[in-house]
Structure 1
C-alpha cells in the first residue's frame, strides 16, 4: 500500500509523545509540514487539504512533537530574527 505525502510527513517529521503536556499548535504543525515538503522536494498541499488529511490521521488528544531535519529547518527558519 502506497503511503500518501501526509503519511510520510507524519512518519518522518513527527512522533507521538503521550507523556507530554503539550502538542504542536496548528501554525507550527503546518509550518513543519512546509519545511518537510521543501526538504523532500515535494509540493505542499494547500492548508485546507492538509487539515482535512491530518484530521483523518490523528486521534483527538494525540500529542505530537517534531523530529528530524524538517524540525531543524522549521526552527531555524521561524527564529531567524534571533540568530
Structure 2
C-alpha cells in the first residue's frame, strides 16, 4: 500500500493527544505545520482546500483533530510563527 504524503506528514509531525483539555491543533495551525513539514522535505505544499480534502481522506477532522505537533516541523513552525523566539 502506498502511503500518501499526507499520511507521512501525520506520522512524522503529529501525535494523538486524547487527554488534551483544549484543541491543540486547529485548522490554521495544522496547515501551518504541514507547510513547515513540506519545506523541510522539499515538497511543494498543496493549497489549503486540497490539504483539507487530504486530511478528510486520512480520517482527520481539522476542527477537532486531537493532534499535537512533534518533531523538526514543529520546531520550524513555532519559530516561524513567533520570530521573537529566534
- TM-score, with structure 1 as normaliser: 0.90
RMSD of aligned C-alpha atoms?
1.4
Aligned length: 83
Which whole-Å deviations, capped at 9, do the CAs of 1:28-75 have from their partners, x for residues lacking one?
Answer: 000000000000111111110000110222355440000000000000
1:7 aligns with 2:7: yes
> What does residue 77 of structure 2 align with?
74
Taking a change above 3 Å as real, the CA distance of residues 29 and 59 of structure 1, as seen in their structure-2 partners, is closer
Note if contact 1:18-1:62 (Cα within 8 Å) is conserved in structure 2.
Answer: no
Unaligned runs of 5+ in 2: none
